[in-house]
Structure formats: C-alpha cells, structure tokens
Amino acid sequence: FDQRDGWIWYNGDLVPWRDAKLHVLSHGLHYASSVFEGERAYDGVIFKSREHSERLRHSAELLDFEIPYSAEELCAAKALCVERNGDPNVYVRPVAWRGSEMMAVAAQNATIHVAIGVWPWPSMFDVATKMKGIRLDIADWRRPDPACAPSASKAAGLYMIATMSKHAAERKGYADALMLDWQGRVAECTGANVFFTRGGQLHTPLADCFLDGITRRTIIDLARRRGIETVERRIMPGELPSFNECFICGTGAEVTPVSEIGPHRYVPGNISRMLIEDYAAEVRPGAAI
Ligand code: PMP
C-alpha cells in the first residue's frame, strides 16, 4: 500500500506517497496514541467533511491530545488532498498520532502528527448484488465497557479486537462479524453500525459503548424523512429471530443488507432498498437537505 503514485497531506505539506514515512519509535505505534477518520468523497466533495473533522479532533481530546489544526484547516487539507490526487470518488483517511520524542507510557511532549491519504474504494456492489445481503458471524470478542476504553473515540487501539473478529469471521467464510458488547447486547460490526426492521420501524442498538456513526445518524434522519421511526434501545441476541430485515451502515459499507447472522436468516426488503437509494442520493453533492 505504500508503493503508489499520489500525494499524502503530511503535517501541512503534500508529499509524494512513497515518502510519507514515520519513525519506528513513534508513540502512536507502541502505545496506540492514534486516532483516525474514514470518509468518502463523492464527485469531488467529501460527505459531512466538517462532522468528520470535528470527530477527529474530539477523538484526540478523548485520548488527551490536541490536534494542531482546526476543523476548518482539516477540511481544507482534505479537500486539497482529494483535488491533488485527481480522483473525485475516493475514500479519505485522516490519521493523527503522537510522535517519537518520548518513548514511555507518558508522552506529554511528543509532537502530534497529522496525515491524510485518499484512495479509490468503490462502493461495495450494485444495488441488485447488495440486495442479496452479506453473511455475518457472531464475534467472540465483545465491545468493552465504556469505563474501560474511550468508546466514543475513533481510536486505533479500539480496532485491535475488530481486526481479530473480522479475521476470524473471514476464515469461516463470513463477510464480517456482529459484535456484542460487554453486557452481551448486540452492538455493531467490526467497522459499521447495525440496524434491524420490525413492524415498519427501525431498531438499532444504543451507541453507548461504540461509535455513533455519522452514517448511522444520517440513516436515522433519512428514515424519519420517510416517516419511519427509529427505536434506539438495548437489543439482546435472543431478539435476532424476531426481525425482518437487517443492514449495516458506515462510511465504507454505506448501506449493506445482511442475509444471515449466525443461525438467523433475513430477507433484504423494501426498507433496505429505500435506504440504500436515499443514502446514495444524499451523499451526492447538491442533494436536497
Ligand atoms: N463502527 C465502527 C467500529 C467503525 O469503524 C465505523 C466506521 N467509521 C462505524 C461504526 C461507522 O461510522 P461512520 O458512519 O461514521 O463511518
């Protein structure tokens, strides 16, 4: 991934992709003092760029460091990076981490670095393929108690169990894993939030120990505009057979229906299709607000 043409925005400058390096004794690498974002540009415009910039800054604050760029500066840097790389439809990955001046648990004086990379990440499938749904395993790892981890931060360290869960699921032939939380409630997938339908309503877990995704909030809003109410509540795995449709959503996944969760089967239907289409329209620049 490091041997490509293109430009990385790195601490205020655009540098050639291959030269965007950091030192092996970086605090972010050893102690996970690192936060990141995942965004998408559609036709050259990053969807909800400002919200992502603010979330990046907030993620860092939760890890006790401050990003040395304002939300406006981050938005401008991301836009420049998209423009300079030439492809208007890309995934955008800002990352911020503590540098190499201090190599111990304490790192108050380590420099904060920020980099932004962009690359093509096509939407998973066309609508017809998506409507077949993906298969989810149920992960062994659980989302931690918010008293044990900064759950609201998009912190690199929280992805350790996500990668392990995703690998375990893929080894068994599943596309992804549904993770439960520390209390055994349904939480989210390894990189996306989850929704269910029942009786014409959406049901989704309370985002009290995992990321309250920007896509999640967009879906709740789009559903409301269609007159569909979303119930955010505790959902236990025992309820899984009682739902009609299931889909996951996130910047990368967009809206992706689910056909299986472990032994449970779902048939992607009208609500999933409608939200796939509404989301696709919403993310295009110039969409009616
Ligand atoms: N949960 C996790 C663990 C994620 O990595 C993501 C993707 N950032 C999401 C949820 C969805 O967040 P968003 O809609 O803001 O992309």
DSSP 167-233: HHHHHTT-SEEEEEETTS-EEEESSSEEEEEETTEEEEE--SSS---HHHHHHHHHHHHTT--EEEE
User: What's the pLDDT tens digit per position in 172-210?
Assistant: 999 999 999 999 999 999 999 999 999 999 999 999 999
Q: What proportion of the chain, given as a percentage, has pLDDT over 70?
A: 98
Question: How many whole angstroms separate alpha carbon 227 and alpha carbon 162?
Answer: 34
- pLDDT value, residue 288: 55
Atom 10, ligand 1: which residue's CA is nearest? 192
- pLDDT value, residue 125: 67
Res 3 pLDDT > 70? yes
Q: Are residues 141 and 102 in the same domain?
A: no
Query: Residue 126's pLDDT band (boundaries 50, 70, 90)?
Result: confident
Instruction: State how far the alpha carbon of 198 is from the alpha carbons of 131, 182, 243, in Å.
Output: 18, 25, 5
Q: Tell me whether residue 177 is in a domain.
A: yes
pTM, full prediction: 0.97
Q: Tell me whether residue 257 is in a domain.
A: yes
Please answer whether residues 78 and 53 qualify as being in contact, where contact means their C-beta atoms are separated by less than 8 angstroms. Answer: yes
Distance 289 CA to ligand 1 centre (A): 22
**Mean pLDDT of all residues belonging to the chain:** 96
Q: Are residues 134 and 80 in the same domain?
A: no
Q: Are residues 43 and 101 in the same domain?
A: yes
Q: Are residues 134 and 267 in the same domain?
A: yes
Question: How many whole angstroms separate alpha carbon 235 and alpha carbon 142?
Answer: 14
Question: How many whole angstroms separate alpha carbon 220 and alpha carbon 110?
Answer: 40
User: Is position 154 annotated as part of the catalytic site?
Assistant: yes
The rounded radius of gyration (Å) of the Cα atoms in the chain is 19
- CATH (domain of 86): 3.30.470.10
Please answer whether residues 179 and 141 qualify as being in contact, where contact means their C-beta atoms are separated by less than 8 angstroms. Answer: yes
| Domain that includes residue 153, residue range | 127-282
- Atom of ligand 1 lying closest to residue 215 CA: 14
- Atom of ligand 1 lying closest to residue 159 CA: 3
Atom 4, ligand 1: which residue's CA is nearest? 191
Atom 7, ligand 1: which residue's CA is nearest? 191
Task: Name the token pair of 229.
Answer: 């109410």
Q: Tell me whether residue 188 is in a domain.
A: yes
